[in-house]
Chains A and B, each alone.
Chain A
Amino acid sequence: MITIGIDSGSLATKGVVLGDDKKILGSAIDLTGGRSRKSGERVYHQVLDRAGLSEQDVAFVVTTGYGRDNLPFSGKNVTEITCHAAGVHFLFPDVATILDIGGQDSKVIRIGNGGRVENFIMNDKCAAGTGRFLEVIAKALEVRLEDLGAISQQTDKNVEISSMCTVFAETEVVSLVAEDTPVPEIVRGVHNVIVERGEILLGKIGLVEPVAMSGGVALNIGVVKALEKRLGLELRIAENPQLTGALGAAVIARNLMEKR
């Protein structure tokens, strides 16, 4: 049975094809841009191509993410909270807590038996501590978003970024650059803001180990290391943490078909 999960996120659209033996047959990530429906369709066909399949081979598609309601091939849409729980449980069955930091929100999910969501909390109306925050800062520093993690590892020092607001933090970063503060120190300071936010969010639900991290920000080695140090634990992170939601959607699609 072939199932597909498509995660139409605020920054990126992700897709996963799950095969008969529960192996990932294909995956894709593309920028969402201004039209989530178009990027969703594009990723859907990309994953089919990569898996060497056609639409007729697919038993069921579950969509998730902010654009989940708007995809014509969707058999069912499920929130990313449920999908991240299913995806992480598929990869790490013993994980009890997930910290997911995506493009425009961050969330903590407590998982129960069978990957069921026991509880969750999302950040409030603020982009601080999310992928968007890093994107803005990377632009202000004139470095690539994907290089932030490595840059932060070039020093042990960090400056304190006092602003909680993304816009004000950007202004602060620009001022620090003007004062010739080394970029790696600024990046570490920015990572600390995300780590503090994540720690507070984890505290609200209650941290139960093992803890996994998912979402695009989990690709940033600087944030991951700083979080692990702060929390005093080792985070479980998928090979491609951006795909966890799409994978979970494909897993849910499979479970639904098995129940039929």
Chain B
Amino acid sequence: MLSDKEKLLKKLMAKKGFGLPGGTAQPAKSKRSVQLENFMRVVGNTGRAVDFSLPEHSAASTVERTIANAGGFQDAYLDDSRVMFVGNVACSEIVAALDFVPFNGQVLSYFLAAAGAAGAFLDIAEKNHLSRDICPVVRCVLGAAVENCLPTPDFITFAYFPCDSGARMFYALADAYDCPWFLLDMPERRGNAAAQYLAQRMKEMVARVENALGIEAVPDRIAAAVEASKETMRYYEKLISLSLAHQVCPSVHKFTTDTTTHLSRMGSPGATQGVRLCYEELLDSVETAGQIRAKERPRVIWDGLMPFYNNEIIRYMEEGCGLEVMSNLLPAMTQNIGGLLAEKDPYMYMARRQLHFAGIDDTKFDVLEPYGIDGIIRFNQWGCRRHLSVNQIIRDRLTQSGMVMLDIDGDFIDSRGYSFSQVKIRIDAFAEMLKNRSEV
């Protein structure tokens, strides 16, 4: 008799591209409470797991606690929850309307890295033949799946955006859990035709969920989720207006974790609460400063994700090199929110909201002038083809406009793929160059 863990392992390893050929074990059925115990056991072994939702962690800021709550990870382990595995492109308003708890493995891996706990799952993945050159998110999530630490999903939705390795991971999970799934084909560009196409795919997704689980998507629930999502976007709009007017940006580290978390909860009150708090924190800092700040230091966009296990690079850039650093997600959010909020059709709204992040590589160019940006720092996930393939295109485009770019290779989840000493020389030289350029 195979244990739940053995069944999962066999099924995962049988998936092409992720391991050894395996057998045809039956799908695992497990109590989520057991899976949560498994999860806490693995994470607890690291000794650094932090549950920000607990009251004793009052040192964590309100925003951090809210992010953890907005992630909804603990809710996903309740046996009566309806759980959907989602990627960063999740059509989260539908997820909320259908009363699912979204479980975003990518965001989970950020939290695990931040808590110093990702290594435990990366090791499990490696011992199960997932080599180090595979995306660390994939390794982290599949490592957790192999140990039966993920809540059994009721449905899985994913996209080939931002990359196909994530989609492959979800295919493997769908097989392992024998779970119904839907591939949301998301266009890589914006525009009305793309929105109409995506809206149609979203309707198909709803039909697929209804059909697979025997539930009904009540239009009122979708309308309510869309309204909640619009409310979140209104706070993003206020945040951006404030940021532009006062030339200040939220902390890159917080904003990146925050935004990626909220985007998989759009349509839920948790996301609105999180973005509102983010806005209020920025408002506080503006009111404390008292006036619009003149630009005093070279200002750069941090483009890409960041090492979640420490904030060493960005802190060094700000405190050691005297640079102002802003997140690339902020420019991505500046795209015509007013037009988006005016959209009446719920599916077209959801599609257009989702397409905010299509062509994210282009959005940075729109804010170079309004924010007085002097350069871009691109953090490339080691070996990530999506990151590396656009590097030279961005560099060339920046060079044409007299702008400079520094690219740093590292790993945002796996701390073994990062060395500060290797990064420091590049950042020092970049900062020197920016300061010398601004002196002339």
Please list the residues of chain A having a beta carbon within 8 angstroms of any beta carbon in chain B: 66, 78-82, 105, 113, 116-120, 122, 124-125, 204, 206
Contact = CB atoms under 8 A, between A and B. Distances in A.
Given A116-B437, A117-B436, A204 B426 contact: no
B395 interface: yes
Given A82-B436, A117-B436, 17 more contacts: A66-B421, A78-B432, A79-B425, A79-B428, A80-B425, A81-B432, A105-B425, A116-B436, A117-B429, A117-B433, A118-B433, A118-B437, A119-B433, A120-B429, A120-B433, A125-B409, A206-B399
B59 interface: no
B404 interface: yes
B429 A79 contact: yes
A117 B409 contact: no
Interface string B411-429: 0000000000110011011
A241 B296 CA distance: 38
8 tightest CB-CB pairs across the interface, nearest first?
Answer: A81-B429, A79-B429, A117-B433, A79-B428, A82-B432, A116-B436, A119-B404, A124-B409
Given A124-B409, A204-B392, A206-B399, A117 B432 contact: yes
15 contacts: A78-B432, A80-B425, A81-B433, A82-B429, A82-B433, A105-B425, A113-B440, A118-B404, A118-B437, A119-B404, A120-B429, A125-B409, A125-B422, A204-B392, A206-B399
Nearest to B382: A125
A125 B408 CA distance: 10
Nearest to A115: B436
A124 B407 CA distance: 9
A103 to B, nearest CB: 13
Nearest to B419: A125
A66 B428 CA distance: 11
Contact of B399 (A116, A119, A122, A125): A119
A66 B440 contact: no
Interface of B: 382, 392, 395, 399, 404, 409, 421-422, 425-426, 428-429, 432-433, 436-437, 440
Contacts of B404: 118-119
A26 B440 CA distance: 32
Contacts of B428: 79
A96 B426 CA distance: 20
Nearest to A122: B426
Contacts of A117: 429, 432-433, 436
Contacts of A118: 404, 433, 437
A204 B432 contact: no
Contacts of A78: 432
A105 B425 CA distance: 11
A254 B436 CA distance: 17
A248 to B, nearest CB: 12
Contacts of B382: 125
B425 A66 contact: yes
A86 to B, nearest CB: 10
A118 B430 CA distance: 10
A80 B395 CA distance: 22
A80 B432 CA distance: 11
Given A66-B425, A124-B409, A206-B399, A79 B437 contact: no
